[in-house]
A and B are shown apart, each in its own frame.
Chain A
Amino acid sequence: MRHLEHEILALRQDLIEMWKLVITQVTNAGEAILSFDQELAIKVTLRERKVDAFELKIDNACENILALYQPVAIDLRFVLAVLKINADLERIADFAYGIARTLISHPSLILDAEIISETNLSEMIDQVKMMLSQGLEAFETEKSELASTIFSEDNTVDEINGKAPELIAQYIQYNPDRAFDCLHLIGVYRKMERIGDHCSNIAEEIFFYVDAKILKHSQIDILE
């Protein structure tokens, strides 16, 4: 095996490991907010440093491969895609951390099961977890078609996020004493929606890596 292939395999393995860690972070942050589990939220915040360490390691490995091996074609697309996916995963982990911090900073936070159910928070969390897992599978198997469903799932996430403020506003009208808690709830929706956006970015990078197709801003021509 060529030396470059060893480097690429190692990079691939690191990214997959980081990806699984980020899925755990999102899963735990979601569970923590749904069940007001402070201990779980603390675990998420403690693991954040490990995600950051992975990001630095992968950035460094990409830089070394580009400088030392000058990859081309599929190898080049792989390294460029990994660089961007790495940044997306790190941002996703930041949002999971943010959700966990919300819970830790406001230990008296109480979210009514009724409003959580009405606004489909649990479904939204499941959806972004699924998007992350599908992205990982598409990356591991190099099957871009597996990533294509992520775009429509992101639309579902956006819809849930779009409807939530109105439902929460109505809820506040009838439960004004819960207004403060509800403001934090809106923050959680916003973070989940951003996680969905980053999953879409990752899906675009998988298409770039596997099929050499550029999907982002697809209606805009590249500036000459």
Chain B
Amino acid sequence: MSTIDARNVDFYYGNFHTLKNINLEVQKSEVVALIGPSGCGKSTFLRLLNRMNDLIDGVSITGTILINGLDIYATSVRVDELRKEVGMVFQKPNPFPKSIFDNVAYGLRVNGVKDKALIEQRVEESLKSAALWGEVKEKMKKSAFALSLGQQQRLCIARALAVKPKVILMDEPASALDPISTTKIEDLIHELKQDYTIVIVTHNMQQASRVSDKTAYFYLGELIEYDKTTTIFTNPQKLSTQNYITGRFG
């Protein structure tokens, strides 16, 4: 069973047909990069995977999206439960105005975990998984805003990991970071894929080729080509894909 299985997905903002008949499967522990020019629908598709578009007025979706076999748009599905399974990291780090510890513990607490020892253990595990523990273990009570941008982004990843999701969505997670912080995030993605399935939106072709196992190229709301990253970046089957990744686009 695929971890993510999108079937015949169409999505509309009002009358605007944003995504057209998207079919895309992601297997467990795969990293999939979504690429394409601005407005192609890649971020919209990413946000459909944990129902982030639900709150936008006038949107509608047809087709099905299964995550570990569960239809996430079924009426019985609770969005807060879904988001424990499908975590998200955004373009700009968005730590809460709380301490480092409380940021990572936040998801556990709102989900009703009260066992202090368990929370401490999970916070430490998550910070270690996000490759941040060594840098913050002595200052867990300090404000998250005292961290550098790169550290804040890894803190947000730790926060997402704390509730033990199966899937992590990343929307341009390194676009606001310097090259060293970017490398750390990319190394982290390689580490995290052992335990998580990751879907990442990126405008950086080299980043897509470095971090992902498969790449999906979107254009004007359609999934033009989806294949192994090595194939997409050495011998794409569609001219449109080639024109985009080689910069001849437009």
B233 close to A (CB within 8 Å): yes
Residues on the A chain within 8 Å of B246, using CB: 4, 71-75
Contact of B247 among A4, A77, A212 (CB under 8 A): A4
Kindly provide the distance from the CB of A83 to the nearest chain B CB, expressed in whole angstroms.
15
Known: A70-B206, A72-B209. A212 touches B235 (CB 8 A): yes
Per the bound structure, the CA–CA distance linking A72 and B234 in Å amounts to 6
Please indicate which of the listed interface residues A70, A71, A74 has the most CB atoms of chain B within 10 Å of its own CB.
Answer: A74
Residues on the A chain within 8 Å of B248, using CB: 2, 5
Residues on the B chain within 8 Å of A4, using CB: 246-247
Kindly provide the distance from the CB of A3 to the nearest chain B CB, expressed in whole angstroms.
9
B48 close to A (CB within 8 Å): no
Kindly provide the distance from the CB of A96 to the nearest chain B CB, expressed in whole angstroms.
34
Instruction: Contact check, A2 vs B234: say whether CB atoms are below 8 A apart.
Output: no
Instruction: Contact check, A74 vs B242: say whether CB atoms are below 8 A apart.
Output: yes
A109 close to B (CB within 8 Å): no
Residues on the B chain within 8 Å of A5, using CB: 248
Residues on the A chain within 8 Å of B242, using CB: 73-74
A-B contact count (CB 8 A): 30
Within B196-250, the residues touching A (CB, 8 Å) are 205-206, 209, 233-236, 242, 245-248
Beta-carbon contacts of A1-15 to B below 8 Å, as 1s and 0s?
010110000000000
Per the bound structure, the CA–CA distance linking A76 and B235 in Å amounts to 10
Kindly provide the distance from the CB of A2 to the nearest chain B CB, expressed in whole angstroms.
5
Kindly provide the distance from the CB of A78 to the nearest chain B CB, expressed in whole angstroms.
10
Shortest Cβ distance from A71 into B: residue: B246
Residues on the A chain within 8 Å of B247, using CB: 2, 4
Shortest Cβ distance from A72 into B: residue: B233
Residues on the A chain within 8 Å of B236, using CB: 73
Kindly provide the distance from the CB of B204 to the nearest chain A CB, expressed in whole angstroms.
11
Kindly provide the distance from the CB of B244 to the nearest chain A CB, expressed in whole angstroms.
10
Instruction: Contact check, A73 vs B235: say whether CB atoms are below 8 A apart.
Output: yes
Instruction: Contact check, B206 vs A77: say whether CB atoms are below 8 A apart.
Output: no
| Total count of chain B residues near the partner, CB < 8 A | 12
Residues on the B chain within 8 Å of A72, using CB: 205, 209, 233-234, 245-246
Kindly provide the distance from the CB of A69 to the nearest chain B CB, expressed in whole angstroms.
9
Within A140-154, the residues touching B (CB, 8 Å) are none
Kindly provide the distance from the CB of B173 to the nearest chain A CB, expressed in whole angstroms.
20
Beta-carbon contacts of A167-211 to B below 8 Å, as 1s and 0s?
000000000000000000000000000000000000000000000
Instruction: Contact check, B206 vs A73: say whether CB atoms are below 8 A apart.
Output: no
Per the bound structure, the CA–CA distance linking A198 and B190 in Å amounts to 41
Shortest Cβ distance from B243 into A: residue: A73
Shortest Cβ distance from B209 into A: residue: A72
Kindly provide the distance from the CB of B245 to the nearest chain A CB, expressed in whole angstroms.
5
Contact of A212 among B205, B206, B209, B234 (CB under 8 A): B234
Per the bound structure, the CA–CA distance linking A16 and B233 in Å amounts to 26
Please indicate which of the listed interface residues B242, B246, B248 has the most CB atoms of chain A within 10 Å of its own CB.
Answer: B246
Shortest Cβ distance from A1 into B: residue: B248
Within A66-91, the residues touching B (CB, 8 Å) are 70-77
Per the bound structure, the CA–CA distance linking A73 and B245 in Å amounts to 8
Shortest Cβ distance from A213 into B: residue: B235
Kindly provide the distance from the CB of A6 to the nearest chain B CB, expressed in whole angstroms.
12
Per the bound structure, the CA–CA distance linking A73 and B244 in Å amounts to 10
Kindly provide the distance from the CB of A113 to the nearest chain B CB, expressed in whole angstroms.
52
Shortest Cβ distance from A212 into B: residue: B235
Residues on the B chain within 8 Å of A212, using CB: 234-235
Please indicate which of the listed interface residues A72, A74, A75 has the most CB atoms of chain B within 10 Å of its own CB.
Answer: A72
Per the bound structure, the CA–CA distance linking A5 and B246 in Å amounts to 10
Within A1-47, the residues touching B (CB, 8 Å) are 2, 4-5
Shortest Cβ distance from B233 into A: residue: A72
Within A46-73, the residues touching B (CB, 8 Å) are 70-73
**What residues make up the interface of A, taking CB atoms closer than 8 Å to B?**
2, 4-5, 70-77, 212
**What residues make up the interface of B, taking CB atoms closer than 8 Å to A?**
205-206, 209, 233-236, 242, 245-248
A-B contact pairs, 22 of them (CB 8 A): A2-B247, A4-B246, A4-B247, A5-B248, A70-B205, A71-B246, A72-B205, A72-B209, A72-B233, A72-B234, A72-B245, A73-B233, A73-B234, A73-B245, A73-B246, A74-B242, A75-B246, A76-B233, A76-B234, A77-B234, A77-B235, A212-B235
5 tightest A-B CB contacts, nearest first = A212-B235, A72-B233, A73-B242, A72-B245, A75-B246
